[in-house]
Structure 1
Amino acid sequence: MKQSLKYLLLSLGVISLGFVSYFGYTLWRILNIGTAYQAKQFCSGVFVSGRSKESVFDRDVLAEIEGLSALEKSIVKSIQVKINRSQQSATANIFGWAKHQAIFRPGLGCTLVIDTTEARLRSQVKSLPLVPQKLNERRSLRQVDSVPPEINQRQLKLALDSVFRPQQHTRAVVIVYQGQIVAERYAPGFSAQMPLPGWSMTKSVTNALVGILVKEDKLSLKDKNLMPEWSDRRSQITLDSMLHMSSGLTFNEDEGSPLGDLIQMLFGRANTAGYAANQPLAATPNTKWQYSSGTTNIISRVIRNAIASDADYLTFPRRALFNRLEMQSAVIEPDASGTFVGSSFMYATARDWARFGLLYLQDGVWEGQRILPEGWVKYSRTLAELAPQKNYGAHFWLMNVAASSEQNQILTAQGFQDQYIAIIPSHQLVIVHLGKNEQATRQQFIPQILAAFTN
């Protein structure tokens, strides 16, 4: 009996030790993600957006923890963040543990230092022409001198007042009609000169970068064997299937899971594309639709592989797209391996996001020059047939909004926390909304705006 009790107690001890070890390891992983997330967000908020550390904490961190438990809130508030302005970096830790650093590089924004060194990351960009030249005068997207008579100004103001209510947490709105800004508003603490995150709107910019390379015959939508590690059935995944989110790869897109694929990829890995590419197939390619940020980061690596050198790759978005659209504020931030995080990490002013939308409104043409291949915008609107809600194209979302008994098919770039660009050819409109809202406003705001343009 004593011997049996001894073995029982020993077994319980081993089980308890295993449980404590597992719990401790899981907690450690969560804390590491928390400090990495804050280092990255403070770095981009301070050095890309030009905000104060206090603004990022009060307007971003505190807003994001509203729905957490008291314990979770206390953990987040215990994370200490240090801003080093001379080194242009942000470092976060919790009681000296789980330390993470993100560094700012002009023209590339902020990157988490993971599995590398700060010196190595900074050496990658020496002498590269990454910072845009200042333009004496922007030729495009000027503010209208007087509001056209066909616009119902009262309705337009009511729509803006509604979306800027305090509980909406809207930060910026720009409305472009027939190529000119007819309405623009910013929340206190934000301005027309402040680059703001687009989160998954970056995916639609990745669509444009692919289109440019297709136009240059450096990529084809039918391309297979896209990644060197795909020697199995994954070699049959095409660029077209990835743009339509039907690669078949396993990926957990849960934004609220710190240990899920999305958060681990963005804030816990040096090589975002490598992490996503190493996922197994959940379904045969082109037989199942699944929205996946991992898929977009694989596309970012495909773009990198199609360009002659890393130096050319790092300057490619600015040279091929941003400079041509006069998007001076725009940056896509790379990961520590040097691949752009094309799923999520782009910053631009509301006006520059509007310029991007205007490119698609104008069928890929900018000031008489074709930027995107002919038919590319139509392709981007092509329905992903496997999407359950029939509301996704090629790295753009599709919306059908009724206004004054008229159905309007709208092409939208959409991002986390209520970022969106709505491109509406029927009304020659581009609507940009940037904010920090957990509840989407677009289903109400876009019809309200359309109602002002249906006189």
Structure 2
Amino acid sequence: MKIFKRMLLLVAVFITIVVVYNYPKLNIIAGYSAKNAASSVFVANRSLAFTDTTDNNFSPINLASDQVQMPKKAVISSVFGLLSRTSFYREGTGSVVALKEEDIHKSYLAPKRGVPDNDTPFPYGNAAQKDTVFTNVDYEQLENALDVLFDPENKTRAAVVVYKNQIIAERYAAGFDQESKILGWSMTKSIVGTLFGVLEHQNKMNVFDKAPFNDWQNDERSQITIHNLLQMNSGLEWNEDYNTISDVSKMLFLERDMTKSQIKKPLVGAPNESWYYSSGTTNLLSGILRKQFQTHQEYLDFWYADLIDKIGMNSMLVETDLAGNYVGSSYAWATARDWSKLGLLYLHNGHWKGKQLFTKEWVKYATTPTPTSDGQYGGQIWLNAGKTYPNVPKNMYFFSGYQGQNVYILPDKDLVVVRMGLTKNADVDLLLSEIIKNIK
């Protein structure tokens, strides 16, 4: 009996050690599952069953089990019953993971939204486009080109090809259509960058000014400019690893105010000489945007009134953190058609329906390669300047997000291509080169 009791004690001690050691990981797993499920259900109007079998079905996130509380608009995610996290939905600002019980019961500001234009044809409104048949487009071969994306292994959910402001090809996976909101993940970063271009055009911002953080004024970080941050070239320490407990995973699932996560970090390289992709940097930029306004309501409204709703991206919702700041690194939802509108705005050098939102010079700035990025990155925008895609024009640039969310802008071809999915398996070089080949 004594031996049996000792064995039970040893097992209990072992289990305790395992749980304590893995507790931080379980915290992140449950947080991710709860957040993703709540946004999928309450922002994108999908079922929990669909979400758990598609979006949350990969390791280790599939260790969590999710439960929806419809009246509270919340999702509770639990990992083996050892730890649970709750994510809850707020009208106008989406879902967020609670850190304390009282977070769920607080009131939160929401942005004022513009009235959708459902009478003007796409792309300037949401009505059906006035179809034009282009004699230089091989529509049949174009459809064949999309087959590259919709191979089952690629898990593509939506594809839209826009040529000269006209949708010339469009396809959706089962369960999705042109009204489906899809998370853009890091394509949200390009929205943040664009807002700096909007403010610069309004003479309210100079991106070459020093970053406005008091914490940096008395050390070498005082030399960091907004420009360095836009180019991900500040030299600040950061770990962008989604497979471990890292800076980015802690920021997204454990921080109340995500705009402050990288402010605390030291320099590990010289500004303008140390390119490193960092979601913390983009949320820091969201914090800089907040500093441009006297009230939080003005900050919330600006994103929509001066950009998102102004170009008719009416389906878009950008989620905020618990402090009410937009999570500019990761959390914008919109239809594939609305994502294409942001690409078209760049294709048209910031001009939209007779108004200039940002300048042609801003487009040049945002698509100029960052030093030490090997031609891959500009101002919160990815580039093909280093010929990552050898059969695609060098001046192609694109917005890019986790699991293969992409908007490709090809200025020489008057072309915007959107792909939304769950993997990066698709052969982008083949896809884009085939589309180009079938537009003579």
Change beyond 3 A, Cα 1:331–1:289: same
CA contact (8 A) 1:106 1:130 kept: no
State the AA in 2 paired with 1:383.
Answer: P
1:40 maps to which residue? 35
1:293 aligns with 2:279: yes
2:236 maps to which residue? 249
2:186 maps to which residue? 200
CA distance in 2, matches of 1:80, 1:61: 10
Give 3-state SS (helix, strand or coil) of 2:55's partner: helix
1:380 maps to which residue? 366
Q: CA deviation at 1:138?
A: 3.5
Change beyond 3 A, Cα 1:393–1:18: farther
Q: CA deviation at 1:146?
A: 4.3
Q: Deviations over 1:219-264 (max 9, x none)?
A: 211221422322321121101011111100111111222x011111
Q: CA deviation at 1:170?
A: 0.3
CA contact (8 A) 1:277 1:298 kept: yes
State the AA in 2 paired with 1:27.
Answer: N
1:133 maps to which residue? 115
Change beyond 3 A, Cα 1:440–1:341: farther
CA contact (8 A) 1:226 1:237 kept: no
Q: Deviations over 1:98-148 (max 9, x none)?
A: 221212122212122225733564x122xx453443433234325452431
Change beyond 3 A, Cα 1:135–1:407: closer
Change beyond 3 A, Cα 1:279–1:36: same
Task: Map residues 268-279 of structure 1 onto 2, 5 A cutoff.
Answer: 268-279=254-265
CA contact (8 A) 1:249 1:281 kept: yes
CA contact (8 A) 1:107 1:132 kept: no
Q: Deviations over 1:251-304 (max 9, x none)?
A: 1111222x0111111112112121221111111222211111111110010001
Q: CA deviation at 1:443?
A: 2.4
Task: Map residues 18-167 of structure 1 onto 2, 5 A cutoff.
Answer: 24-62=19-57, 64-65=58-59, 72=60, 76-115=61-100, 117-119=102-104, 121=106, 123-125=107-109, 128-141=110-123, 142-143=128-129, 145-167=131-153
State the AA in 2 paired with 1:220.
Answer: N
Change beyond 3 A, Cα 1:83–1:319: same
Change beyond 3 A, Cα 1:19–1:312: farther
CA distance in 1, matches of 2:254, 2:410: 38
1:236 maps to which residue? 223
Change beyond 3 A, Cα 1:228–1:120: farther
CA distance in 1, matches of 2:74, 2:337: 27
Q: CA deviation at 1:346?
A: 0.8
TM-score (norm. length: structure 1): 0.87
CA distance in 2, matches of 1:440, 1:337: 37
Q: CA deviation at 1:18?
A: 12
CA distance in 2, matches of 1:77, 1:136: 40
CA contact (8 A) 1:357 1:430 kept: yes
CA contact (8 A) 2:311 2:352 kept: yes
CA distance in 2, matches of 1:342, 1:315: 15
2:166 maps to which residue? 180
Q: Deviations over 1:68-123 (max 9, x none)?
A: xxxx5xxx4442212122222212122444221212122212122225733564x1
1:395 aligns with 2:380: yes
Q: Say what the alpha-carbon RMSD is for the aligned residues.
A: 2.2
Question: Identity over the aligned pairs, expressed in percent?
Answer: 33
Give 3-state SS (helix, strand or coil) of 2:262's partner: helix
State the AA in 2 paired with 1:86.
Answer: P
1:345 aligns with 2:340: no
State the AA in 1 paired with 2:307.
Answer: L
CA contact (8 A) 2:111 2:297 kept: no
Q: Deviations over 1:12-36 (max 9, x none)?
A: xxxxx99998754330000011111
CA contact (8 A) 1:359 1:365 kept: yes
CA distance in 2, matches of 1:357, 1:444: 20
Q: Deviations over 1:338-370 (max 9, x none)?
A: 111111111110000001100000001101100
Change beyond 3 A, Cα 1:171–1:216: same
Give 3-state SS (helix, strand or coil) of 1:277's partner: coil
State the AA in 2 paired with 1:54.
Answer: A
Q: CA deviation at 1:154?
A: 2.5
Deviating beyond 6 angstroms after TM superposition, the runs of 4 or more aligned structure 1 residues are: 17-22
CA distance in 2, matches of 1:316, 1:26: 44
CA contact (8 A) 2:196 2:207 kept: no
Give 3-state SS (helix, strand or coil) of 1:220's partner: coil
Give 3-state SS (helix, strand or coil) of 1:434's partner: strand
CA contact (8 A) 1:383 1:390 kept: yes
Give 3-state SS (helix, strand or coil) of 1:241's partner: helix
